[in-house]
Each structure stands twice: as structure tokens, then as C-alpha cells.
A and B are shown apart, each in its own frame.
Chain A
């Protein structure tokens, strides 16, 4: 009796985990770009989109297996990110509002560029048959692919954490974040750190894109659906990796549980409102600390 009552809730929590993993992998690249470089990258959604198209193109032209498409998308979008950082972002590091606007221009260019190349009709990314099954344990179930997304997200988060907390590069990144001038006096090239971080963040978006291309269809406009979500995760989490993991987990589960009582769209509305109210009370702790003024 009790167990039966709990079935929908537990299913919702399982689904919530899946939603959380999607939010998280969408926000991961944005998190390290915002957290490290301080850039609000409005083109993040389009980085995701370009990742999806990369997978599609590689698969349909040379028949690259899906699992190899993931690193390929990472590499291609990281390269795109690198070019954009060198050509534009690096000139705007001290102008946060301007980066926001300029990257929005970038998003428009990427979206239209892809539209001109691939057209506006939907594309699909094929996955191995086994990914399309549903996995069920009694009354609980989830599709295999969603499990794959959860696993990949966990692996990528772990790899990112390792990179930023356990390697020499990570140490340099944190040094630059704390004090650029002092880091420079120890011979750390902040410019190079920013460039690499931006490229990695873009690459992560590309990887997310090839996953999302399977979960949904591939369209030039698909990025816009993810960018607001990704921002909310980053903003609620405060720009740190741990923060984003927590924020994605919380928002994913909340959305899934809210949907139990209403429906998907209304759940999302409730969540957005909750986040805005939450940000009213914790704006500084989560975004940037107040700067000292003398």
C-alpha cells in the first residue's frame, strides 16, 4: 500500500535525476566560462546547437559511430570557441554587459550560419539500438539513453573537477581567478588560461549538444531552449562547479516533482518564479562577492 503510493514519487525522482543531468551538462561549459573568465556567454545555446550539427554531419557523411561523435563534437566546438575568444571575447573582458551583448550577436551569426548551410528542417542523430530501449525494475523505469546521459554527465563532471582541482592547469586557473596580477607575477599567463578555459567550456557545450541531438531533434534554433536553463543553473549555483551540480540536482528534482502535481510546462513556470524569488534573497552569495571600495 505504502509502496504503491510512493511509486509515482520515486519515478518522479528518477526522472528528476535525468532532468538534472540534462540541466547540468547543459550548464557545465557555461559554469566554467562564467566562473573562471567571468563572461556571460549568450552564445552557449548555439555552441550546444553546433555540437549537435557536428555529430549529425559526421554521422551522415562519414558514418562516425555515435560514441565517437561525442569527443569529435567536443573538439570541433572547442575550436569554434577558441576562434571566438581570440577574435572577440578577449577584447571585452572588463565589460560584462558588452560581452553579454556581443555573444548574443555571435549566437545570431552561428544560428543563421548553420541555417544557411544545413537548412531549417530537422535533423536526427542515430544511436545504437540498445540505447533506445527502456530499462525497468518492477514499476520503476527509465530509458537506457537517459541513463547514458546521466553516466556521461557524471563522468564529464568528474573529469572537469579533476582538471580544475587536481592538475597544474587547474591551479593556474584558480590563481588567475583569485588575483590576476599576482598570478602574472608568478609567471602565469592569464590570457592563455582564459583562452583555454573558454575553449574547454565551449567544447563541453558541444558534447552536450550531441547528447541533446539524440534526446530531441536537431534544429538551428534548438540552442535557445537550453540557454536560459543553463544560465539559471549557473546563477543559482553561484558559478562554481559544486554549485552547479547542487543547483542542477535541486532544480531537476523540483521540476520533476512539481510536474507530478501539475504538468511539465506549469512545473517549469513554477520553477522559474521560484528561482527569481530565490535570487532576490541570495543574489550576491551566488553570483559575485561585493567588491571592496576605497
Chain B
């Protein structure tokens, strides 16, 4: 039995609680609206890192196309907010459509007149897409690297489509709804603590929910199939269904992030579906520690935070170092920064345990069996 604090469930929840509290308290100390807005966007990145950690870290599904859910949801949210500025009678058509000489609102825009319906669609459509696309891939039992390539190709397909549908999506310029989101006749100022707390609340709920999920029997089966899907199949589980479910949940979290993002920045463009952005999400989780939800989230904070505080002048050097560090992570520390913490806590625990047999560190010296 290992006595490493890192593996202690109560200690884990304590850490999660502490991080949640700290995040929620930020507006009490930060009064600058722009800074608060920036911190809130980090929360969005945290959600994305969380979704990658769930799919890749726990499920072993390396998804290089998470921008699909993020981008589609962001477009849905932007469409909803755009329609809040339109009037069904006097001014039903968004200006960019008029510029593209559309004389009526396209049918697929109609549902976005309703704020509730629009946001619902923004969440449901990406998730449904993940269910369909996921079951397509997972029933074909495609291998890990293959999934990475297929998700990447699908992302490129969506990117191209949205870019191409200029009259309906405003192409490369994207959508920029003129006014902030209004719900229940209250406008949510993106620079207010309210907006921050909404994102923070989403992050906390999603993280806690995901953590519970990974601790359930479902989560255990998912971790098992990461190592050996065939073994899980022979135990009676329908692996494709499990993989599709985990993939879709991960997509749903990314969709939440997409909605939150547009609420904060009032803008979406095909850049949100750019392949580089999706791969950046994987880097956050990889460096933070994909096997740890909170590690991945903090990885996103660290990397994006570092990027904005170094400024444009050092941006290129920063990205270079990031790439180099990522190589190091992949090569020698697959558990990322969270893995370092695990090692440190393990080292702390060792002296107290004496030299008991069967302990992790001692056992690791045994030759691996059956290979």
C-alpha cells in the first residue's frame, strides 16, 4: 500500500476545494474590469484543459480536434447574442448578411431568436456531433494515433466550412455581437465580477462533476480501457459506447467553454477552430499533467498567463521554450508537472514508511512481468 498523500482522496478533494475557493475569491481582490475579464478567459482555458484531461488523460483518447466543440458552441452563442440585437419586425437581418446581399434570415439562424433555445442548441449540437462522430470512430476500433489524425482532419473540415460560408458566418471576419449577453432582461457585463463568477462557477461545477465521474465505476472502466480496451471488452463492457460517452462528455465541457468564451469576448471567428489552438489545449494538459484534472487546469493558467505577461516582444521565444519543454514532458515526464508533485509527495512519505516491502518505490525496481 502506498501512503503517498498525492493518492489520498480526501487530500485531493481538499486541494480542489482550496483551488476553487481561491478562484472564487479573485474578484474580491481585483477591481480592474479588464484584468477580471482576462482572468475569466483563463477559466475558459481551464475548462478546455479539463475536457482534454478527461478524454486523453483518463480515456486515452487523444483528441486533436477539441476546437470543434469549442468553436461550434462559440458560434451558437455568438448567433444567440447577435439575434438579441436584432428585431424580428424592423431589423431581422444581421448587418454582415446584408453586406453579403442576403435578403432573408437563413433558416438555421431562426432558432437563435430565443436566448434559451439558442444557448441550448449551442451546447446540444456539438455534443450530438461528438456522439455521432465518436461512435463512428470508436465502433471502427481505430487506434489511438489514428483518432488524433481523424479528429484533426474533422477539425480542418469544420474550419474550412465555416470560413467558406461567408454569407451565413461572415467568413474569416467572424461574428461580433454588438452588445453583451442579456439573460432574464439583465445584461451581463463581461468586465463585471458577475461574468467572472459565472465562468468560475462553470469551471468549479465541471471540475467537481468530472472528478466524481472519474471516481465512479464508470471512471474506473474508462481508465481500464485506456490501458487495454480489448481486455475490457472481454469482461462484458461495450467499449465503443464507453469511449463515445467519455468523448461526448469531454465535448460538452468544451462546448460550455465555447459559450462562456463568447460571453466574455463578444467575438468568434474560424480562428477558434484553428488546428494550432486545439493542439495548444493538449499542451496545457500535457504540461500540467493529463492524469490530473486540476493539474491540467493549472497548466492552462500557467501557460496562458505566462504568455500574456511576457508580452509580444518575448512571445516567439516563449513559444519556442514551450515547444522545447513540451518535448521534455513527453520524453521524460509523461505525468507533467502534477507528476513532479506526485514524486515529491512520494519522497516525503518514504522515510515514515521504513523499508516495507511491496511499496511503490521498491516494487518499481522489480522487472516488469509478462512483456
Contact = CB atoms under 8 A, between A and B. Distances in A.
B327 A272 contact: no
A228 B153 contact: yes
Given A231-B152, A231-B153, A281-B140, A101 B320 contact: no
B140 A108 contact: no
Interface string A89-102: 00110001110111
A116 B146 contact: no
B194 interface: no
B270 to A, nearest CB: 11
B330 interface: yes
A272 B276 contact: no
Contacts of B145: 40, 96-97, 100
Interface stretch (B160-168, B215-223, B351-359): B160-168
A272 B157 contact: yes
A96 B323 CA distance: 18
A283 B283 CA distance: 27
Interface stretch (A124-132, A135-143, A209-217, A260-268): A260-268
Contact of B160 (A111, A224, A269): A269
Contacts of A102: 326-327, 330-331
Interface string A214-228: 000000000010001
A97 to B, nearest CB: 5
Contact of B150 (A109, A269, A279): A279
B320 A109 contact: yes
Interface in A102-125: 102, 104-109, 111-113, 115-116
A98 B334 contact: yes
B331 A272 contact: no
A159 interface: no
Nearest to A119: B316
A67 interface: no
B149 A235 contact: yes
Nearest to B231: A293
Size class of the contact patch on chain A: 35 or more
Contact of B320 (A91, A108, A265, A277): A108
A288 interface: yes
B31 interface: no
A107 B152 CA distance: 16
Interface residues of B, number: 43
A181 to B, nearest CB: 14
A184 to B, nearest CB: 18
Nearest to B318: A112
A232 interface: yes
B323 A112 contact: yes
Contacts of A277: 136
Interface string B291-334: 00000000000000000000000001101101111110011001
B276 A269 contact: no
B275 A105 contact: no
Interface string A25-61: 0000000000000001000000000000000000000
B141 A283 contact: yes
A88 interface: yes
A151 interface: no
Contacts of B140: 279-281, 283
Contacts of B161: 265-266, 269
B148 interface: yes
B324 A272 contact: no
B154 A272 contact: yes
Contacts of A293: 230
A169 interface: no
B160 A268 contact: yes
B143 A108 contact: no
Given A102-B330, A231-B153, A288-B143, A97 B164 contact: no
A273 to B, nearest CB: 5
B327 A273 contact: no
B164 A269 contact: yes
A242 interface: no
Nearest to A112: B320
A152 interface: no
Nearest to A84: B327
A7 interface: no
B148 A100 contact: yes
Contacts of B334: 98
A232 B276 CA distance: 17
Interface string A254-294: 00000000010110110011011101110110011000010
A144 to B, nearest CB: 29
- 6 nearest A-B residue pairs (beta carbon): A108-B323, A272-B157, A112-B320, A265-B164, A105-B327, A105-B326
Given A92-B330, A107-B323, A279-B146, 11 more contacts: A40-B145, A101-B286, A102-B331, A108-B319, A108-B326, A111-B323, A112-B320, A235-B149, A265-B163, A269-B160, A281-B140
Interface of A: 40, 88, 91-92, 96-98, 100-102, 104-109, 111-113, 115-116, 224, 228, 231-232, 235, 263, 265-266, 268-269, 272-273, 275-277, 279-281, 283-284, 287-288, 293
12 contacts: A96-B144, A97-B145, A100-B148, A101-B282, A108-B319, A108-B322, A113-B320, A265-B163, A269-B164, A272-B156, A280-B136, A280-B140
